[in-house]
């Protein structure tokens, strides 16, 4: 069945270029009314431009409906105003793709605290601001689809990106609580870890790979994850047409007692503690405590 977004309103942050632009265009092609948010900054978050307006023009040129918003995701009041204006104009918000992002890469040894704070502010606090701004609307209409943008750096690490990685894994964490809190109001929350040739990755991709990793090849995952039949609490990797799922798991572990309930006991049993046989994917934090209770009960 064709996935459509007719009569739905979508906000895409950082949609003035790269992945956000690709999401906005395809949402519009499939019937959504789109708010193209972008401050139009350089890769490090400095400067400003009318990038959002250009993407609105592109949407209109293909027969879609879009409005530009030049607010910064770091400013909660601006995000709340964006949502209020969207609701006044189009009556609701059904989809939020938190995509805006910046980079200030440096080894941790050389990273200034201000650059750590700034990157966390844009990605993590910025996504929390936009999500908070749409949350009551989505609860009230009993429908919402929210996509957080993580990254392989957040999930698995990358030299020189401590600030970015901390923010990006934080977004997967935000998903994991919001999916629980949103469930009873039909709000589904997912995380995407894209790999795409954009200005953000232009220094690390060789030219040939840059073409293969066209942002358009990430779009199918992003749009499925904000569609009516989307899963919830998924972490999906997407790049060059390859789609993957990532999980936070918990090993079965081992219960130590007596003389083994010591740092030396942990050292001696490290292989058993980290043995992945029978590991689980907890669906909420309480499952860790439950699994411990189960061990205490001898299971
Ligand atoms: P991009 O640099 O083309 O897009 C990011 C957009 O966010 C820019 O248009 C920028 O103006 C906007 N932006 C920055 N700060 C903003 C703010 N405070 N308020 C509103 N807009 C703001 O980069 P790309 O690659 O399209 O990145 C999109 C998202 O995907 C980012 O969150 C990035 O971290 C993430 N990502 C990208 C990967 C890739 O391979 N390209 C890999 C993993 C994650």
- Euclidean distance between CA atoms 105 and 54, whole angstroms: 28
Are 68 and 105 part of one and the same domain? yes
**Whole-number average pLDDT of the chain:** 97
pLDDT, tens only, 24-35: 999 999 999 999
Give residue 139's domain range: 9-246
Closest ligand 1 atom to residue 41 Cα is 11
Judging by beta carbons within 10 Å of its beta carbon (0-12, 13-18, 19+), is residue 257 exposed, middle or buried?
A: exposed
Two structure tokens written together for 97: 């793709």
pLDDT, tens only, 190-202: 999 999 999 988 8
The residue with tokens 């019937």 is 31
Are 55 and 136 part of one and the same domain? yes
The answer to whether residue 3 is domain-embedded is no
**pTM exceeds cut of 0.75:** yes
Are 75 and 27 part of one and the same domain? yes
Query: Ligand 1 atom 43: the closest Cα is on which residue?
Result: 151
Alpha-carbon torsion (135, 175, 152, 229), positive or negative: negative
Query: Is the CB of residue 70 below 6 angstroms from any atom belonging to ligand 1?
Result: no
Whether the per-residue pLDDT at 299 is higher than 80: the answer is no
Query: Is the CB of residue 100 below 6 angstroms from any atom belonging to ligand 1?
Result: yes
| Gap from CA of 241 to ligand 1 centroid (Å) | 19
> How many domains does the structure of the chain reveal?
2
Query: Is the CB of residue 195 below 6 angstroms from any atom belonging to ligand 1?
Result: yes
Are 84 and 133 part of one and the same domain? yes
- Euclidean distance between CA atoms 158 and 255, whole angstroms: 33
pLDDT, tens only, 132-181: 999 999 999 999 999 999 999 999 999 999 999 999 999 999 999 999 99
Residues 272-297: what's their mean pLDDT? 96
Closest ligand 1 atom to residue 126 Cα is 18
- Euclidean distance between CA atoms 266 and 278, whole angstroms: 20
Are 239 and 121 part of one and the same domain? yes
Q: Which residues contact 244 (CB under 8 A, 6 or more apart)?
A: 236, 237, 238
pLDDT, tens only, 131-143: 999 999 999 999 9
Are 226 and 268 part of one and the same domain? no
| Gap from CA of 42 to ligand 1 centroid (Å) | 10
- Euclidean distance between CA atoms 133 and 114, whole angstroms: 26
Q: What are the catalytic residues? A: 164
Query: Is the CB of residue 51 below 6 angstroms from any atom belonging to ligand 1?
Result: yes
Answer left, alpha or beta for residue 150, where phi above 0 means left and psi between -120 and 50 means alpha.
beta
Residue 63: pLDDT band (50, 70, 90) is very high
Are 117 and 17 part of one and the same domain? yes
Are 145 and 278 part of one and the same domain? no
């Amino acid at each position: 069945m064709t996935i459509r977004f007719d009569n739905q309103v979508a906000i895409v942050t950082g949609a003035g270029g790269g992945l956000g632009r690709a999401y906005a265009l395809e949402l519009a092609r499939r019937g959504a009314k789109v708010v193209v948010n972008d401050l139009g900054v350089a890769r490090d978050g400095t400067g400003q431009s009318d990038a959002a307006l250009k993407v609105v023009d592109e949407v209109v040129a293909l027969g879609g409906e879009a409005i530009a918003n030049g607010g910064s995701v770091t400013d909660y009041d601006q995000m709340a105003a964006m949502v209020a204006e969207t609701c006044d104009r189009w009556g609701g918000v059904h989809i939020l793709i938190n995509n805006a992002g910046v980079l200030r890469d440096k080894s941790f040894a050389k990273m200034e605290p201000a650059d750590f704070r700034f990157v966390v502010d844009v990605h993590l606090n910025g996504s929390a601001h936009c999500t908070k701004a749409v949350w009551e609307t989505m609860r009230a209409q009993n429908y919402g689809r929210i996509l957080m943008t993580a990254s392989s750096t957040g999930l698995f690490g990358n030299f020189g990106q401590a600030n970015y990685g901390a923010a990006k894994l934080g977004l997967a964490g935000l998903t994991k609580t919001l999916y629980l809190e949103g469930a009873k109001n039909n709000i589904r929350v997912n995380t995407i870890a894209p790999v795409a040739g954009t200005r953000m990755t232009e220094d690390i991709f060789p030219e040939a790979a840059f073409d293969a990793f066209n942002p358009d090849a990430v779009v199918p995952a992003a749009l499925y994850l904000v569609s009516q039949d989307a899963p919830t609490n998924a972490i999906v990797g997407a790049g060059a047409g390859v789609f993957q799922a990532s999980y936070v798991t918990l090993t079965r572990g081992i219960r130590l007692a007596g003389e083994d309930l010591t740092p030396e006991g942990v050292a001696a049993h490290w292989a058993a503690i980290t043995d992945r046989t029978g590991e689980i994917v907890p669906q909420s934090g309480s499952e860790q405590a439950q699994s411990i209770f189960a061990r205490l009960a001898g299971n």
